[in-house]
Structure 1
Amino acid sequence: MERSEPQYVPDTEAQGLLRLLPAAARPYALLARLDRPIGWWLLFWPGAWAIALAGGVPERWTMLLWFLIGSIAMRGAGCVYNDIVDRDLDAKVARTANRPIASGAVSLKAGWAWLLILCFIGLIVLLQLRWQAQVVALASLALVAAYPFMKRITWWPQAWLGLVFTWAALVGWVEISGGMNAAGLLLYGGAFFWVIAYDTIYALQDKEDDALVGIRSSALAMGPHVRAGVGLCFVLALLLWGGALWQGVPSWLSLVALAPLAVQFGWQVWTLREDGKDPLIKFRSNRFAGLLMFAACLAVGSA
């Protein structure tokens, strides 16, 4: 039997807003993580960077809105699909045991229906793109479908997430420029290492439970060297992004544009504590890091 009242997870951000919804709708909002906007911000930023760096702002600023809508819908769809696949593992981990499908608040059949609705919204966004960008977007589906299984077969599911969660950078670049070049690939590569870094920080919350139930993660793989590993990923991200910006404007000023972001990354690594609430705080701070990167791309792309 389904339960009408969902159980909130510790890192929810919008309990007050969700309680304005009808009781029957709340589990579906939680299932799509609408109470935790950090996820769709992190999915949105790489596409926004590409649009800005490729010179799509301000002439095509509306594309930023379409990418934002698509990020909210497809992040939600990805979470629903992930929870359907991981319902057995989620039930064994304290932080995820109350997720709507794992807890029984949403049935499996209803979960699939909600997934289709979110994908339909994503389809509307897809139709706003040029056909080349549509092809690139659709090419990500196999990677997305495989992601929930990665934590069962590899110690580096965060690397697979890096491939998937940054795909909007490729889509946005092709949409604005009509093709792909070195700058677009370097932007995507940097975003890949950025995702590994912040999702490793996020995985610190579950290290003990993951080890007990056999879930693999980069946080466990790095062991006592998590801070060094995260720092290395941030450095690689900055180097690749520096190359992307240099392709746009070959001047030292392009690299200076990344200085605020470098400081933010340094703060994350230097002050990171591997327990308590700090991993979640540092993880969420990457929403601001994405904004700093957007400002750098906008400055170079508009030059």
Structure 2
Amino acid sequence: MDVQDIVPDSERRGLIGVLPRAVRPYASLMRLDRPIGAWLLFWPCAWSVALAGVGPGGAELILWFGLGAFAMRSAGCVYNDIVDRDLDARVERTRLRPLASGRVSVRSACVLLATLCLIGLAVLLQLQRSAQLIALGSLVLVAGYPFMKRITWWPQAWLGLVFSWGALVGWPAVTRELDLAALLLWSGSVCWVIGYDTIYALQDREDDALAGIRSSALRLGSRVGPGVALFYAGALLLWAAAIWRVRPDLLGLLALLPVALHLLWQVATLRPDDGADALAKFRSNRFAGLLMFLACLVVGTS
């Protein structure tokens, strides 16, 4: 088979398409053309910094978290593809990924993974010691994530633990200590991640079932809409508790109204059998994250 037959269209256009041909598979491994994952990893970090009051150097700290989110999300994608290369080859949407299609060797992917982790280490060194120790605690969760789809119907819950971890790091990066508000923020983010990743998993329900891959979308079945609504409601309640911890008045809670309306729109208009709609709703959580950041910024700095 000619190599052009196994190169996805995404490597022939857009950001990846303008890169040298030899670099494109590695950019694809990093999902360079799909930054939504980096945004979703970044937002809980930024929320926590904002709700903690930002503090001196807070703007610079948020930028460091942005770089760290990009590097570690990219590293996570590479690691996930190394572990899942055989499963990916059996799913239509993922069969042309560089490792699954054989265009990149495992050894080369490991070198890329190590390079991205070094960037993550550089970011880690910018944080306060307490924040560094908490950040390192996420590594066990990250290492276990690719295996969850093989042993539980709720890999989305494990992803929630991982992608929300920044909420536990941002607060001590500002204040040097962990507060209940950060724990509540993190717990709410876990619910949010389960909700939006269940929506994302709707795209692959048929292929996942055939390949033996488990997901919350398959587990919920026809109840996926109410299930996502329940997780989003849990996220809003926990976020409200975090905000109340910082500013115990109703005006503070009103800051959550825009993100609450956005999540309500997602649930009310979701079409579970339409993969394109599911992807669009999933991607819209980048905007939901921004709305939540603005709420935390208003409350934390008022």
**TM-score > 0.5 by shorter chain:** yes
C-alpha distance in 1 between matches for 2:12 and 2:32: 8
| Aligned counterpart for 1:109 among listed residues 91, 107, 110 | 107
| Aligned counterpart for 1:183 among listed residues 181, 184, 198 | 181
- Give 1:86-125 correspondences, 5 Å limit: 86-125=84-123
TM-score for both structures, normalised by structure 1: 0.96
- Give 1:13-24 correspondences, 5 Å limit: 15-24=13-22
Report deviation, 1:2: 11
C-alpha distance in 2 between matches for 1:143 and 1:284: 24
C-alpha distance in 2 between matches for 1:171 and 1:272: 32
C-alpha distance in 2 between matches for 1:85 and 1:106: 14
- Give 1:45-56 correspondences, 5 Å limit: 45-56=43-54
Are 1:206 and 2:204 matched, yes or no?
Answer: yes
C-alpha distance in 1 between matches for 2:17 and 2:279: 23
For residues 224-247 of structure 1, the C-alpha deviation after alignment (integer angstroms, 9 at most, x for no partner) is 100000000000000000000111
Secondary structure of the equivalent of 1:22? Answer: coil
Maintained 8 Å contact 1:261/1:289: yes
C-alpha distance in 2 between matches for 1:38 and 1:5: 27
Secondary structure of the equivalent of 1:61? Answer: helix
For residues 71-100 of structure 1, the C-alpha deviation after alignment (integer angstroms, 9 at most, x for no partner) is 000000000000000000000000000111
C-alpha distance in 2 between matches for 1:49 and 1:2: 47
Q: How many residues are matched? A: 301
Report deviation, 1:117: 0.5
Are 1:8 and 2:8 matched, yes or no?
Answer: yes
- CA 1:2–1:151: 2 relative to 1, 3 Å: farther
Maintained 8 Å contact 1:5/1:27: no
C-alpha distance in 1 between matches for 2:138 and 2:96: 29
Report the residue type matching 1:8 in the other structure. P
| Aligned counterpart for 1:140 among listed residues 131, 138, 141 | 138
For residues 204-234 of structure 1, the C-alpha deviation after alignment (integer angstroms, 9 at most, x for no partner) is 0000000011000000010110000000000
TM-score for both structures, normalised by structure 2: 0.96
For residues 159-197 of structure 1, the C-alpha deviation after alignment (integer angstroms, 9 at most, x for no partner) is 000000111111111111111121010000000000000
Q: Give the equivalent residue in structure 2 for 1:301.
A: 300
Q: Give the equivalent residue in structure 2 for 1:232.
A: 230
| Aligned counterpart for 1:77 among listed residues 67, 70, 75 | 75
Report deviation, 1:276: 3.2
Report the RMSD for the aligned CA atoms in angstroms: 1.8
Report deviation, 1:105: 1.4
What's the % identity of the aligned pairs?
Answer: 61
Can you give the 5+ residue segments of structure 1 that lack an aligned partner in the other structure? Answer: none
Report deviation, 1:55: 0.6
Can you give the 5+ residue segments of structure 2 that lack an aligned partner in the other structure? Answer: none
Q: Give the equivalent residue in structure 1 for 2:42.
A: 44
Maintained 8 Å contact 2:11/2:28: no
C-alpha distance in 2 between matches for 1:58 and 1:259: 28
The runs of at least 4 consecutive aligned structure 1 residues that moved more than 6 Å come to none
Maintained 8 Å contact 2:130/2:176: yes
C-alpha distance in 2 between matches for 1:127 and 1:2: 45
- Give 1:57-72 correspondences, 5 Å limit: 59-72=57-70
C-alpha distance in 2 between matches for 1:127 and 1:291: 26
Secondary structure of the equivalent of 1:36? Answer: coil
